């Protein structure tokens, strides 16, 4: 059974930092693109970042470029999102997702979702 378990969210002050982790199990982790998607309170889904199978190709939505860093550890089957210079509009539930299929050339979409972790940016 595919499982994605996020951790690391919480209350952060504006300008602060937080690191999210997602522990994956139930599939060959190194075969899949992994992504982070967020959802602000009462809003729709927004793609944040994704990372290829080896951790070499990284892509970010424009609003987080230079502030967020996605990485992965294919030994520990984890993907991380390091978030810096946080702003109030970064407040959201952050979901870790696994791609729809293995060994894809590009990230296609979310086949599985974690339960999400809430990041609140407020003073």
Partner 1 sequence: NFILTQPHSVSASPGKTVTISCTRSSGDIAGSFVQWYQQRPGSTPTTVIFEDDQRPSGVPDRFSGSLDSSSNSASLTISGLQTEDEAHYYCQSYNSLSWVFGGGTKLTVL
**Interacting residues with partner 1 (CB under 8 A):** 35, 37, 44-47, 50, 59, 61, 95, 100-101, 106-116
* Cross-strand bridge partners of residue 39: 45, 93
Shortest spacing between CB 85 and partner 1, in angstroms: 21
Q: Where are the beta strands (DSSP E) in 3-123?
A: 3-7, 10-12, 18-25, 34-39, 45-51, 58-60, 68-73, 78-83, 92-99, 110-113, 117-121
Shortest spacing between CB 93 and partner 1, in angstroms: 9
What order do you get walking across the sheet with 68-73 strand by strand? 3-7, 18-25, 78-83, 68-73
Q: Are 5 and 22 in contact (CB under 8 A)?
A: yes
Nearer to partner 1, 1 or 75 (CB): 1
Nearer to partner 1, 42 or 123 (CB): 42
Nearer to partner 1, 75 or 89 (CB): 89
Shortest spacing between CB 19 and partner 1, in angstroms: 21
Nearer to partner 1, 15 or 101 (CB): 101
């Amino acid at each position: 059974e595919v499982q994605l378990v996020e951790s690391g969210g919480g209350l952060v002050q504006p300008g602060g930092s937080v690191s999210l982790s997602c522990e994956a199990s139930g599939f060959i982790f190194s075969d899949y693109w992994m992504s982070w998607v967020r959802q602000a309170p009462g809003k729709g889904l927004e793609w944040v970042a994704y990372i290829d199978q080896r951790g070499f190709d990284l892509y970010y939505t424009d609003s987080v470029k230079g502030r967020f860093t996605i990485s992965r550890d294919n030994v520990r089957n984890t993907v991380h999102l390091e978030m810096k210079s946080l702003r109030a509009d970064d407040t959201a539930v952050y979901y870790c997702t696994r791609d729809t299929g293995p060994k894809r050339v590009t990230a296609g979409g979310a086949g599985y979702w974690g339960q999400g972790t809430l990041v609140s940016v407020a003073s």
